[in-house]
Amino acid sequence: MSSDKVSRRLAYLLKHANLRMSELTEAALLPYDITGRELGVLNVLVGREPGSQQQAAQRLGIDRTTMVALLDTLERKGLVSRHPHADDRRRNVVELTERGEDLARRANAAAEEAEQVFLRPLTAEAGDQLRESLRAIVGSVVRTDDSAPVRR
């Protein structure tokens, strides 16, 4: 396959776009000592009533083990707190600390700047279209459990 054909493949383009976006985001979040995944967890918790670890994992589409590891890290950093649910002591309730809310606000602003740098080669309209197109694709895939994704 010629290099032109390779560079036109959607898998190639998405992979390399994701790598570039990840590099920019990682650099933007470095001063806040969090990763993009950790910011994702904080964003799931921002402005919500305290919820369970399982609910947060479901919103992000990650497994429970990964969520526990992320929450352990965020708790050590003082950004989230966990405590047993009042009615079901087997469940942990997760919520942002004040420090977590402040850091999420500042880190989101930095991540937004990274997105603007990423989209700089495009017009504003093309950037909006890219975002909406990707949302449509991501939104068309549903996971019913830990099995393979199913298209809607």
pLDDT, tens digit (0-9, with 9 covering 90-100), for 13-31: 999 999 999 999 999 999 9
Q: pLDDT above 70 covers what percent of the chain? A: 89
* For residue 145, pLDDT beyond 60: no
Q: Cα–chain-centroid distance for residue 40?
A: 3
CA dist list (Å): 48 to 52, 55, 82: 11, 11, 14
Which residue matches tokens 């010629």?
2
Beta-strand pair 51-52/92-96: antiparallel
Q: Is the pLDDT of residue 49 over 80?
A: no
What's the CATH number for 9-146?
1.10.10.10
Residues 59-92 pLDDT 10s: 888 888 998 899 999 999 999 998 887 777 777 7
Domain ranges of the chain: 9-146
Q: Tokens 């600390």 belong to which residue?
A: 97
pTM: 0.79
